[in-house]
Structures are given as C-alpha cells and as structure tokens.
Structure 1
Amino acid sequence: MDDYRAIADELAAEIASGQLRPGDRLLPLRRYARRRGIASSTAARVYRELTRRGLTVGEVGRGTFVRTSAPAAEPALAEPGEARIDLELNFPVLPGQPDRLAASLQPLLRTDALGPALRPVGAAGTAGARHAAAAHLARAGWAPDPCQLLFAGNGRQALAAAIATLVPAGERLGVESLTYPVVKGIAARLGVTLVPLAMDAHGLVPEAIEDAPPLRAVYLQPALHNPLGLTMPGTRRERLAEILRRHDLFAIEDAIYGFLRNDLSPLAALAPERTVVIDSLSKRLAPGLTLGFLMPPAGRTADFAAALRSGAWTATGFALDAATRWMADGTAAAIEEDKRRDAAARQRLAAERLAPHPLQTDAPPALQIHAPPALQADPHAYHLWWQLPDPWRADTFVAAAARRGIAVTPSGAFAVGRGHTPNAVRLALASPPLETLAEALGVLAELARGTPEDAGAE
C-alpha cells in the first residue's frame, strides 16, 4: 500500500507547481481513494497531512480546498495594527475614559503614595487590594473570598498559572471545540494536551466530559463565549457542576467578558470547590492597563500562588495600587457600565448592517458543534460569530476583507485539533469608533452578497 506521506508529497508538488491553484477544491475523499486505488482511511490521512502542512483547509459539508495563502506561524495570536480597521482584536477604550482614569490616579502620583507602589508585591497583593477586588468582581449574588484572591500581571498569566497548577505536563485539559486561541499556545508551551469537547447551541455539552479520555481539568467560557457569543443557561451550569463533582474535576472558568453580563452568576457560584475563576482588567478598563485575577477554591490558594511566583506572573506594585484605586472609588464600575451600553449599541449596529444569509445545515457529526445562525452573539457581547454564505469560505473571505483594509478572524483560529472547521468568521466590534465600525460592517456585508471572484479573492 502506498505510504500516505508519499502521496501527500505528490499533491503538495502539484500545489507548488500551480497544477492545483489556491481555492481549488480537492476530490471528495472516497472518489480520490477510488481514483488512486487506496483505502478511504489512507486518503483521509493524506488530506489530514496536507492540512497539517498548511497547504489545505477543510470546510464543513463542502470539502477540502487549497489555501489561498500560506498560514501565519501563529495565526490566532494577532498583534495590534494601525493601517487597517481592526475587527480582529477587541480593544474597548471609550471616549473620555483616559480623563476619568487620570483623575482617579492623581493621588497615587504624590510622593508619599508613590513610594509604596514602587515596591514589589506577592501573588496575594495587599489586604486593601483583595477587598477592593472582591467587592468589584462580585455579581448576581456571588463574590470571591478576599482571603483567596490572587493577582497576576494580566489575564493570560492568570490562565497560564491555573493550567500549570491543575494539569501536569503530558496530561489532558478539556476545552470547548472552539476556544480562546491563547489557550492553545499556553497548553503547547506547558506540554499539556488539549481535548476538544462537544458543544451545542447552549455551549459546552456536560456529557462530553464523561465521554472524553481521562482529563485533569476543563477550561470553559460559560458567559459570552469567545468566539461563539453563547451564554450557558442555568440548567446547563447545574448539570456541569454535578459532573465536575462526580468526576473529581476542576473547571477553569474564564470570566474575562463576564462583566458585560453582571446579571449572571458564574459557574463558581454553583461549584465553588471545583472552580477556578480567571478575570482581568484588560477588557473591563483597557488592554494597556493589565491586572489579572485568579480565584482558586478554598484550600488551594498556596498551590496557585506558587505557580504565579515560579512563572514570574505576579502583578507589579504600581499596577495593583492603581487598579485598587479605580475599583475602590467607583471609576472602574462607571467605565464598565458605559461599556455595557457601548457593547449593546455595537451589537445593534452589526445586526442592522449584516443581513442574514441562508445556511448549510449538513455539517457532519465530527464537527462537534451545531451550525449556528448566520449571525450569532449575545446581545451584550463585544464580538459576534458570522456563518458565511455560499460560495464564500472563511480563509477566502478573510483575504478579501484584508484587501479592503479590514481585519477579521477565521474560524480555524479557534478550532482545537486538525479536523474540519465551520465556514465562519469572528468579528470583534470593540476597537473602531462607531462610525468606522458602521463603514466596515457595510463593506463586509457587500462582500458577502457578492462572490470571491467579484472581490478578486480567487
């Protein structure tokens, strides 16, 4: 039997020579297997190998296509850009916000106050910081215990410390089948294997945890899921808490966007002994004002504090003192309330500008997630998920948008594993001014109503 890698080499050569052009669709697996005289399982390995090399991309229900461009080394970890309209990264900074923050910060700039802020602090910060943060992070009847609160330099560092504490190298972390891209990078650097867990219209399917290979922990976003914009209903959270207890598992609950739904309590309210909550000021205030919060279960604080120290992930004294003032005097709460209104306004604008399109609903079970509506988002979120209409494919649409000066994120950046991904893109709505956002959404709607050929994308 032919070695699948040798066959993949032949197809790769055809791509390199131009015989197979960007955007071309490969033969369906069974048809290719018959033509080549190989088993269907071998043909599947050939196609997976081409995807692994970054030469092709799978589209659910539509087949495998030659990529329109080579993938970036780390496509999910985009960097801020200037010469574009950024709908790829969420940087919610509102007009007038710098003045508010500066006014609150003035007392800290006095010599007598600044001196203590220049000293290093430990993972537990100060008593004043813990009490201010516990009060500020409280929502819907839940509040963290100030004695258990820990501080990191930012939310990503808090997340890395949580994974490092709960999942030893070589062990498995369960994640939603479409997840926050940074988790993939952190897991790779810590030697942790990610196991994609099935989702449906309400988020993570709790029973998927029971069907998975043995896990050490689960990472999830119950509220305003990134990228899908789903918010898990209460009954689903209760079922999830029950399964965590039954299997003696910890959940890492990413609450970074939870402040936009302060009417919802976190999973930690239902399973405090099984849940580690991660939060940050990056979205609450601004991406340049980072402070991460890590709220472990009772009795585990020392373990997580050790991970923060060993990873050099603890907060700085000045950042901690500044954030404590913003939280204690109400400045942070006022800005967050403004952002809740701003996010809702941007969602309304997106719904007006992006007309819905008919969907293909023949996605195979391997996708592990039901086909979403054309536009999917929590109306309070700063992002949305857009199922693209035919004949568009995610990577082609991203390329066409880039030619118009608009950056968006393809579904593949969020997918765990190397299987098929939804034919969709995520739009981050927070960064541009409203007028610019309206213009960009109009351009994207125009692109979607046309074809890749119209846009010169193929």
Structure 2
Amino acid sequence: MDTILQHYMPGGGRSKFRDVVAAIRSAIAQGSLAPGDQLPPVRDLAWKLDMTPGTVARAYAALTDEGITEGQVGRGTFIAPPSTPVQFVPEPWFDAGLAIEAEADDQVSLFATALPDMGQVALIHSAFARLGSRSPRDLLAYPSRSTFEPARRAVLHWLSGAALGPIDHEDLVLSHGGQSGVSLVMQSVLHGRKPVVLLEELTYPGFRRAAQLLRADVVSVPMDAQGIIPEALAELAQKHDAQLLCTCPEVHNPTGIFTPEERRIQIAEVAAQHGLHILEDDCYRVGDARASSYRALLPELGWYVSSLSKSLTPALRIGFTVAPRAHASTLRRAAEHGFFGLARPLADLTEDLLLRPETAEVAEKVRACLQSYTRVAVNGLGGYDLRWGDDIPFLWLNLPDGWRAGSFTKAAASRGVQLRSAEDFALRDARVPHAVRIGINAQIALPRFENAIARLRDLLDNPPEGMVV
C-alpha cells in the first residue's frame, strides 16, 4: 500500500484511474514492486487515495489487459512475471499518422488515417516553385490582415460544400491546422477563472488538451446513436454554467456517428437558451455536408473549424477557423496577438492550391482511394458490429462479448496491427464502450492492408483460449 502511495502523483491532466496506473507502473520501473507482489485490495487503496472503488478497479483492469498484472481467483491481483514485450506505438500529442515508411513488412499501423499520394505532392512542389516568382518584398515584412485576403477568399471557395450560412472572408482566420483553430476558438470564447467546456462522452482528444491549456474544466455529455442527447446537454449546461460545447456532427471522431438536421436543431435550441457557444470540428469530412452547420443554425454562437489534413495532407498544417459574424474581430485578435497570423509563404501556398481545379480533382481521387480501402475493411469485418461510411476515413468496431478494448489492441499489436482503443477518446469517469477505432491507412499497398484486416478478423473469429465470453 505505502509503495503505491509514494509513487502516486495526481494531476497532470490525467483521469484518476490513469494516475493509479501511472503510480503502479512507476513502482515497478523503480523496483519497488516486483513480479509476484500482491496489490492492495481495491477498497483499501480507494479509501487511502480518496476515490471510488470503481476507479481503482478500472486501473487494475487496465493493467491486467496490458499484461502488467494478473488476477488470481480468490486471492487478488499480483504483479505479473515479465514476458516478451509487445511494441506499442505511444499516443502522439496530436492525432496524426505514424511513420508508415518505417514499418516492417509484418507491422501495419491502423492507428490513424494515412492519405495516399494521388498527385497532391506534385501539386505542392509546383506551387512552391510558382511562389518563387512573387515579389521579394513579400518575404521581408510582417503579414497583415490584407495580406491574407486572397488566401481567405480561396478558402471560402474550397469550403463551398459546407453549409456555413452567410459568410464573408473577414469571418475567417487561417490557422496552423485544425488543432490550432480549436485553441483559437477557446481563446475567443472562454472567460473567468474556471470556465467549463462540454465535450461528447467519446471525443477527439485535442478538445480536452486545448481546454486544459486554458485551465478550463471539461464535462462529458451523454450520446446516443444520433450524437449528443439534447436533454442531457440542457441539464449539464445549466448545472455547470458552461460556456462552450465542442462536437463533430458530420463525422464524429471516433465513432463515425452522423448527427441529422433535426437533432442539430434541437441542440442549437438548447445552446441558444443557455448562451452556449458551439465549436464544430469538421476536419474528418471528405464529402459534401449532409446537414446545416451550427454556424448556420446559430448565427451568434456557432463556430467552425476544418483543415486540409484529411483531404490533401496534414504536413502543411493549414487549417481554417470561421467565427460567428459578431465575433469575427475577437477571433482575428486571438490569431494576431497569438502568432501574427500564418507564415506568408503558407498563406500564398494556400491561395495557389485551393484555387486550382487540379486540386479539387486530386482531393476527389484521394476520397475514391480511401473508399476502396474502406470497402476492403468492410468486406473483411462486416460480420461484426462495425460503423463505417464511404466518406469516413476510419471505422469503429464494437467488440464482441468477452473482449475489452485494451486487451484487443494488445492482441492485435502482437499480430502486427496497431489500433486505437476507445479509452483514448474517453473523458474522466465517462462511459467507455469495448470498442476500437481502425484508421484507413492508404499509404500501404491494398493487399497489405487487406492482410492486416484479415489478421483482425482471425483474432475476432478465434479469441485466445481462456478468454471469458
């Protein structure tokens, strides 16, 4: 008991159960806990750490899933003997693809979406070459608001498939990718000593990290098959005096849920009643929008963020943030005071790329290629509880009874396939399903991708001996 207490360091942006996991891992790494040592009973440790027994039990279960501990019926939980380590990919601080080119032949990362080169690399090279003919003075001065007007107008042209309502280029700011846009919106909206941000109970981790940087509390909102539940949103908005809701209604990350128009109208009505701003993250949509954006439904409170990361490339870090008309100047100040705006060459590159008809053609080819990989995955895993769509660059797999997300990702990694667990997207004490997200990796040959899916199918069809079903 005392050994764990000595290594327990709460905080750091982690949930309580992860603090317990970190303490036990630290004790093992420093030799304070050795194979065969027994962990304290759940209730005893929970009392010492002033948390619920369920939180400690969740930590023990996570460690068991990873093979760090083992449960012995009637005796308790013990530190497991060392075994052959499985190489896991650590969670990056951003939701990006892995180094695909470094993968061994038998290792395949489906951790995140990886786009194929369908001509965009050549387009970017030629665009940089064209920028060399621009005036040298463009590279000797700080950028200004007028500097970026051509790029902003090009972005409006690019976003024509999004139902954003009345919009002017002055409502838009170029950001360093979608994550930078999320931070800009929070800087524009949040105020007070301890603001509250509402997030979906499973959500893009970047929302949580941006809120933590601004010392905001995050609260999870329950969901159903259509997304956020309006009644729950109303209750939580009032209870916590929340200032901002972050959501992905077109392509929910990580589940792929689409929130239909009627549900969005209900959510917008709740937000209007409580003065709640809504930040819509549209970075994963690769087709046309199927319903009105919250910016269109809430002209005074709706914010919109997107980027080129899932349509052309994440390497350029080009994102777009659109403010409600009444808050456009606040958004501009957040960008100008924070980083003086995008680098001039990137703004010029954005203008060049987004106004060329070839770019739209390449984006459509990228979309078609991703669809071909998605169909291979659906053919291989379609017999299981799978959520997918032609315009969704990942799949969401609800695991069969008996599987936990942690143990499944570990078993998949031992077979050379890296996935992302539902726990990576869960907030503290949120309801976490036994599910995994499967990214579409179109940077590897289709047969190799199909082989990776076959390995997952074999694992589902033939679970390890002794697994309780």
Q: TM-score, normalised by structure 1?
A: 0.80
1:315 alignment partner, one of 331, 342, 355: 342
**Mind listing any 5+ residue stretches in structure 2 that lack a counterpart?**
9-19, 66-70
Corresponding position of 1:290: 317
Shift of 1:315: 1.2
Corresponding position of 2:112: 89
In the alignment, structure 1 residue 101 sits paired with structure 2 residue 108 = no
The answer as to whether partners of 2:62 and 2:406 remain within 8 angstroms in 1 is no
After superposition, give the CA deviation of every residue in 1:278-304 in whole Å (9 maximum; x if it has no partner): 111122210112211111011212212
In the alignment, structure 1 residue 131 sits paired with structure 2 residue 153 = yes
Partners of 2:159 and 2:77 in 1: how far apart?
46
The answer as to whether partners of 2:116 and 2:369 remain within 8 angstroms in 1 is no
In the alignment, structure 1 residue 451 sits paired with structure 2 residue 463 = yes
Letter in 2 for 1:410: S
The answer as to whether partners of 1:125 and 1:151 remain within 8 angstroms in 2 is no
Return closer, same or farther for 1:172/1:228 CA change in 2, 3 Å cut-off. Answer: same
After superposition, give the CA deviation of every residue in 1:360-387 in whole Å (9 maximum; x if it has no partner): xxxxxxxxxxxxxx10123310011111
In the alignment, structure 1 residue 207 sits paired with structure 2 residue 231 = yes
SS of structure 1 residue aligned to 2:408: helix
Corresponding position of 1:147: 170
How do residues 271-290 of structure 1 correspond to structure 2 at under 5 angstroms? 271-290=298-317
The answer as to whether partners of 2:261 and 2:291 remain within 8 angstroms in 1 is no
Shift of 1:310: 3.5
SS of structure 2 residue aligned to 1:446: helix
Question: More displaced, 205-214 or 191-200?
Answer: 205-214
**Mind listing any 5+ residue stretches in structure 1 that lack a counterpart?**
358-373
SS of structure 1 residue aligned to 2:252: coil
Corresponding position of 1:189: 213
In the alignment, structure 1 residue 397 sits paired with structure 2 residue 411 = no
Return closer, same or farther for 1:57/1:218 CA change in 2, 3 Å cut-off. Answer: farther
Letter in 2 for 1:130: R
Return closer, same or farther for 1:106/1:54 CA change in 2, 3 Å cut-off. Answer: farther
The answer as to whether partners of 1:50 and 1:56 remain within 8 angstroms in 2 is no
Letter in 2 for 1:191: R
The answer as to whether partners of 1:174 and 1:194 remain within 8 angstroms in 2 is yes
1:157 alignment partner, one of 180, 196, 202: 180
Shift of 1:232: 0.7
2:378 alignment partner, one of 345, 348, 351: 351
Shift of 1:181: 1.1
Partners of 1:282 and 1:336 in 2: how far apart?
11
SS of structure 1 residue aligned to 2:413: helix
Shift of 1:413: 0.4
After superposition, give the CA deviation of every residue in 1:37-59 in whole Å (9 maximum; x if it has no partner): x999x99713414656996489x
Partners of 2:60 and 2:410 in 1: how far apart?
19
The answer as to whether partners of 2:163 and 2:293 remain within 8 angstroms in 1 is no
SS of structure 2 residue aligned to 1:260: coil
Question: More displaced, 81-90 or 150-159?
Answer: 81-90
The answer as to whether partners of 1:174 and 1:197 remain within 8 angstroms in 2 is yes
Question: More displaced, 346-355 or 46-55?
Answer: 46-55
Corresponding position of 2:256: 229
Q: How many residues align?
A: 420
Question: More displaced, 117-126 or 388-397?
Answer: 117-126
Shift of 1:439: 1.5
Letter in 1 for 2:53: V
Partners of 2:399 and 2:426 in 1: how far apart?
16
Partners of 2:140 and 2:311 in 1: how far apart?
24
Question: More displaced, 285-294 or 162-171?
Answer: 162-171
Partners of 1:102 and 1:55 in 2: how far apart?
46
The answer as to whether partners of 2:35 and 2:79 remain within 8 angstroms in 1 is no
Shift of 1:88: 0.9
Corresponding position of 2:451: 439
The answer as to whether partners of 1:392 and 1:452 remain within 8 angstroms in 2 is no
The answer as to whether partners of 1:158 and 1:308 remain within 8 angstroms in 2 is no
The answer as to whether partners of 1:229 and 1:385 remain within 8 angstroms in 2 is yes
2:395 alignment partner, one of 384, 389, 395: 384
Return closer, same or farther for 1:301/1:198 CA change in 2, 3 Å cut-off. Answer: same
Shift of 1:340: 2.7
Letter in 2 for 1:228: T
After superposition, give the CA deviation of every residue in 1:79-127 in whole Å (9 maximum; x if it has no partner): 62332422112231333331233344442222x3565256442467522
SS of structure 1 residue aligned to 2:326: coil
The answer as to whether partners of 1:375 and 1:384 remain within 8 angstroms in 2 is yes
2:426 alignment partner, one of 415, 425, 436: 415
Letter in 2 for 1:307: A
SS of structure 2 residue aligned to 1:261: coil
Partners of 1:430 and 1:118 in 2: how far apart?
40
SS of structure 1 residue aligned to 2:267: helix
After superposition, give the CA deviation of every residue in 1:395-438 in whole Å (9 maximum; x if it has no partner): 11211222222221001000011344111110110443323221
How do residues 322-337 of structure 1 correspond to structure 2 at under 5 angstroms? 322-337=349-364
Letter in 1 for 2:313: A
SS of structure 2 residue aligned to 1:252: strand
1:429 alignment partner, one of 435, 440, 456: 440
CA RMSD, aligned part only?
Answer: 3.8
Partners of 1:120 and 1:90 in 2: how far apart?
35
Question: More displaced, 46-55 or 400-409?
Answer: 46-55
Partners of 1:43 and 1:204 in 2: how far apart?
31
Letter in 2 for 1:132: A
The answer as to whether partners of 2:118 and 2:365 remain within 8 angstroms in 1 is no
